[in-house]
Amino acid sequence: MNEEITGFRVRYPEIDRMGIAHHSHYFVWFELGRTEWMRRRGMTYRQLEEEQGVFFPLIEARARFRAPALYDEELQVITRLESISRLEVRFEYRIVRPEGGRLLAEGITGHVAADDRGRPRRLPVELYERLHGGSAPSSEESSRA
């Protein structure tokens, strides 16, 4: 299964004057989901960065906001690998209120593989396979996961 669910709670400094979460924090929640998605596949950012020298800087981020997230409520971010090649990775996210199942927001992030100076590099095959959940493609074409 390609999807992971991560629970979190909306923090006080994340809400703004309207009493709802400021939109910039949704991208932080997406990141919580992405981090957890990777952890459950045996990879942590820390390991990737420190042991493998692989970083995943963003090249793109998008979100659609459908209903406001309120202070202190428990929400979930549902994270899915959308596509992967040895050069790029894309994740999809949905923020949902578990009670009632309402979709509050959805979005994507696109990443390149880079070294610690931000220069593009290829994902090591072994890492690619763990992310992808299968064997590496012979070409560099993105494979829908």
CB of 129 to its own copies, least distance (A): 23
CB of 63 to its own copies, least distance (A): 5
CB 142 within 8 A of CB 84: yes
Tell me: does residue 129 bind its own copies (CB under 8 A): no
Number of residues located near its own copies, criterion CB under 8 A: 40
Would you call 26 helix, strand, or coil by DSSP?
helix
Q: Check residue 14 and report its DSSP letter.
A: G
Specify the stretch interacting with its own copies by CB under 8 A; choose among 24-32, 80-88, 122-130, 133-141. Answer: 24-32
Taken in order 107, 48, 130, 141, the sign of the CA dihedral is positive
Tell me: does residue 71 bind its own copies (CB under 8 A): yes
